[in-house]
Amino acid sequence: MKGSIFFIAAITFYLAADLCGQSIISVKPENLYNLATRGSEEFLIDEPQLAGDPRNGQGGQPVTAFDPGYNRLYNPASIIIDLEQDYRLDELWYYDINGRDTIRVYTGEPGDWHYQGDILTFSFRRWGSFSLGQDSARFLKLVFRWPQAKIAEIVLYGEALGTNLRQLPLAQATAPVAMGDFIGINGFIDDPIDKLARWGATSGSTTAGNGTRAIPTPITPGIPKTRWPSIPVTLRAGISTSIIRN
- Enumerate residues 6+ apart whose C-beta is below 8 A from 35: 77, 78, 79, 80
Task: Give the pLDDT of residue 181.
Answer: 61
Q: Among 122, 92, 88, which Cα is nearest to 105's?
A: 92
More confident residue, 61 or 189: 61
Its pTM stands at 0.60
Whether the predicted pLDDT of 7 surpasses 80? no
Q: What is the rounded average pLDDT of the residues 12-41? A: 75
Give the C-alpha separation, 84 to 29, whole Å: 12
Task: Give the pLDDT of residue 166.
Answer: 76
Give the C-alpha separation, 236 to 225, whole Å: 34
Q: Among 19, 55, 12, which Cα is nearest to 159's?
A: 19
Q: Give the mean pLDDT of the chain.
A: 75
Decide: 152 and 64 in contact? Cβ < 8 Å: yes
Helix, strand, coil share (%) of the chain residues, nearest 5? 15, 40, 45
Give the C-alpha separation, 208 to 199, whole Å: 24
pLDDT in tens, 191-223: 777 666 666 566 655 444 444 444 444 444 443
Whether the predicted pLDDT of 126 surpasses 70? yes
Task: Look at 47-61, 182-196, 198-212 and tell me which has the smallest mean pLDDT.
Answer: 198-212
Task: Give the pLDDT of residue 165.
Answer: 87
Whether the predicted pLDDT of 237 surpasses 60? no
Task: Look at 3-7, 94-98, 174-178 and tell me which has the smallest mean pLDDT.
Answer: 3-7
User: Per CATH, the architecture of 22-160 is what?
Assistant: Sandwich (2.60)
Task: Look at 67-76, 109-118, 140-149, 185-194 and tell me which has the smallest mean pLDDT.
Answer: 185-194
Decide: 134 and 89 in contact? Cβ < 8 Å: yes
> How far is C-alpha 156 from the chain's CA centre?
20
Task: Give the pLDDT of residue 199.
Answer: 62
Task: Look at 108-117, 185-194, 213-222 and tell me which has the smallest mean pLDDT.
Answer: 213-222
Strand spans (E) along 145-210: 150-160, 185-188, 202-205
Choose the most confident range, by mean pLDDT, from 91-95, 97-101, 236-240.
91-95
Give me the residue spans of the domains in the chain.
Answer: 22-160, 180-235
> How far is C-alpha 190 from the chain's CA centre?
54
